[in-house]
Structure 1
C-alpha cells in the first residue's frame, strides 16, 4: 500500500504520525511510505533518518495523494481540500467537538478512523491511553507553571515548603488522565483530591495511592465544597466519542480563589468547563472570572519526541493491519473497526451520530 505521512500544522504540534522505526517496519513488509519534508524534525527525526528507513521524502501534495494517510492531529481547514474519496485517514479526530471537521470529512468521501475510538473488547482505548498518560502528567506540570506569579497565578508552590502548606490539586475524573495527574501532583508534594462517579474506580485508586490522595464521590455538592480551597483543577473527564459533561459551570468557577488555574485535558472533546475556549501552546491561558483557564487541545505536543515514540508503540500494529488489508482490516479487527467514524460520506460512529443527529 502507498502510505503518506504529512507534517502537522497545528500550533506548535511537532509530533509525527510515523517514526523512522515504524516506517522501516512498513517498508520491510513491502509497503511504500512517503514522508513530507521535515515532518519529523520537531521530534528529532531528520529526513535522512526516514530515507535510511526506506521512505521517500515528498511534498505535502504528494503525501496526501496516498491510499492511507497517517497523522497525529485532526485535519485543519486548510487541509480539507486534500482529503480524497477512496482514501483511508488514520489519526486523532475528536469529532464531537468539531462539527465543521465532521461535515468536511463527510463531504470529502474519505474513510476516517480515529485513534481515540479504537476500543478493545475490555473497553480499553489502546491508542488514546499513551497520550492520556502524557497529557495527565503534563497537566500538572503546566498547572504548576501557571500558578507562578509571573504567569498571572496566585504564587503558590504546589509542593509547599517546611512551615508552609502545599498547594491543593483537584482532579475531576479518575481515569488514565486523572490518575497520571494525581501521580505527578503527589510526587511534587501537593495535596490531591480525586473526584469520580465510579465507586469501583475509586477503590482501585485507593489501592494505588493509599491515603496519600483523598478519593471523593463526585456530586454537585462535593464539587462545590472542594473548589474554594483548590489551587489547581485538572479536567480529566472522558466520554468516548462524546462531549464530556459540563462539571465546572461559570458559577462553580467563581468559587475558586483569584489566581488559581484550570487545565482541562478534555478540551479536545469539548471540555468539562462551561466557559472554556480553545487555547494554544503559543498562548496557553486566558484569565476569566479571575481564574486562569488552559484549553490547549494538544498538550502532548509539548514533548514530541517522547509522545511520538509512545504513540507509535501503540498505533503501529493497527497501521500494519490497515496497510495489509485496507478497508477489510476494519472488519477483521473488531477493535480497529470501533475506530471508524466516517466512511465514504456517511457518519457511522454511534456516539458521534448522537452528537450530530442532523448530519
Structure 2
C-alpha cells in the first residue's frame, strides 16, 4: 500500500503523523511511504531520517494526497486538505467531528473513508490512541495554567506551590479519567492543593486508593462543583465522552462567583469544550478573558511539546497503521472490532453514533458500511 504523510498545517502544530521508526516498519512490511518535505522538522525529525528509513520525499502536500492510498496525519484535516481527499482514500487521524459540522460534511462529500484515532477502543474499554495525547495534555494543563495565573498574563498572581508562610494555590480538576489523573498528579507535584471531581464512584475509589495523601477527590454533584470552583485559583476541565461533544460543566453565570483572575484550562476544547465560555485558541494567542476569568483553550496543546507527543502517538498508532496497510482497511476492521470503532465516515455516510446524535445526522452502522 502507498502510505502518505503530509506536513501539518494547523496553526502552531509541530507534530507529524509518521515517525521515521514507523516509516521504517511500514517499508519493511513492503509498503511505499511518501513524506512531504519538512513534515517532521517541527518534531526534530529531519528529512534525512525518513530517507534513511526508506521513505520517499515528496515536495508538496498536493502530491501526497494525489498519490497515497492511506493518509496519516495528527490533526483533523483543514479545509484545503479536505478538498484534496477523494473517493477510495483512507484517512487515519484525529477528527473530533462532534463539534465540527463543516468538517463532517466535507468528509462525507469527499467519499473518503475516515478512521478517527479518538474513537478506536481496546479490550479494557480504553481509548488507546487518545491516551498518549491525553497524558501529555493532562501533564501540560497545570503548567500552562500556572503561566496564565501570573499577574502579567491577567491572572491572580498566585504561585501554585506557595512559599513558607503563604498557602498553595487551589486547583480543581473536573474529570478523573486519563487527562484528569495526570493533571492532578502534576499539579500536586507543583505543590498545589488539588481536588479531583468525578461522577464515577469506582473511579473515585481507585483515585483514593492510589493517590491518597497526594490529592483529594469529591463526587461531582452540582453543589460540590459550584462550591469548589468558587474557591479555586485554577480549574482544569478534563471530561470526555468518546466521540461526542463535551458537556458544559461551568456556566457563564458561575464565572461571577469565581475569584477574579482565576484560570480555566479547557482540555476538552477539541470536543467543543466543557465550559460555556470556551472557544478554541492557538499557541500564538492562547488565553482570553471573560468576566474577569482567564481562559486557556488551545485546541492542540500537545503540539507545544511536539517531539514527545509525536513519539508517544507514533508508538500507539503503529500497530493499527500496519494492520490497515497490511490487510486493507476493510479486512483490518472486520478482524478487529476495536479498530472498527474508529470508523467515523465511509462512502458519504456517517458511521459513528455519538457524532450523528450531536450533529443530528443519520448514521449507518460501521458493520453495514463495510458492505457498501
TM-score computed with the length of structure 1 as normaliser: 0.99
Per-residue deviation, 1:29: 0.9
Residue 277 of structure 1: aligned partner: 279
Partner of 1:310: 312
Q: 2:80 aligns with which of 67, 78, 101?
A: 78
- Deviations 1:116-155, CA, capped at 9 Å, x for gaps: 0001132100000000000000011100111111111111
Aligned residue for 1:35, secondary structure, equals: strand
Task: Report what 1:40 is aligned to.
Answer: 40
| Alignment deviations for residues 202-252 of structure 1 (CA, whole Å, 9 cap, x no partner) | 000011210332210001111111122101100000100111211011112
What is aligned with 1:341?
344
C-alpha distance in 2 between matches for 1:288 and 1:346: 39
Offset at residue 356 of structure 1 (A): 2.0
Q: Which residue, out of 162, 166, 169, partners 1:167? A: 169
Aligned to 1:222: 224
Contact 2:172/2:194, CA 8 A, preserved across alignment: yes
Q: Which runs of 5+ in 1 are unaligned?
A: none
Residue 356 of structure 2 is aligned to residue 353 of structure 1 = yes
Partner of 1:319: 321
Secondary structure, counterpart of 1:341 in structure 2: strand
Aligned to 2:105: 103
1:297 lines up with 2:299 in the alignment: yes
Structure-2 residue corresponding to 1:61: 62
> 2:145 corresponds to which residue?
143
The 1-side partners of 2:361 and 2:319 are apart by 35
Q: How many residues align?
A: 359
Aligned equivalent of 2:127, options 125, 128, 136: 125
List structure 1 runs of 4+ shifted beyond 3 angstroms. none
1:116-265 mapped onto 2 (5 Å cutoff): 116-265=118-267
8 Å CA contact 2:133–2:309 kept in 1: the answer is yes
Classify the secondary structure of the residue corresponding to 2:328.
helix
- Residue by residue over 1:151-203, the C-alpha shift from the partner in whole angstroms, topping out at 9 and shown as x without a partner, is 11111100000100000000000000000000000100000010000000000
Gapped runs of 5+ residues in structure 2? 363-372
Q: Which moved more, 1:255-264 or 1:105-114?
A: 255-264
What SS does structure 1 have at the residue aligned with 2:213? helix
Mapped to 2, the partners of 1:107 and 1:253 lie a distance apart of 40
Whole-Å separation in 1 of the counterparts to 2:52 and 2:332:
28
Distance 1:307 1:289 in 2: 34
| Aligned-partner Cα distance in 2 for 1:306–1:254 | 38
Q: 1: CA distance between counterparts of 2:130 and 2:328?
A: 22
Does residue 29 of the first structure (1) align with residue 29 of the second (2)? yes
CA contact (8 A) 2:185 2:215 kept: no
What SS does the aligned partner of 2:216 have? strand
Question: Is 1:330 equivalent to 2:330 in the alignment?
Answer: no
In 1, the alpha carbon distance for the partners of 2:268 and 2:255 equals 16
How far the C-alpha of 1:352 sits from its partner, in A, is 1.0
Distance 1:224 1:101 in 2: 35
The residue that corresponds to 2:366 in the other structure is none
The answer on whether the counterparts of 2:350 and 2:361 sit within 8 Å (CA) in structure 1 is no
Aligned-CA RMSD value? 0.8
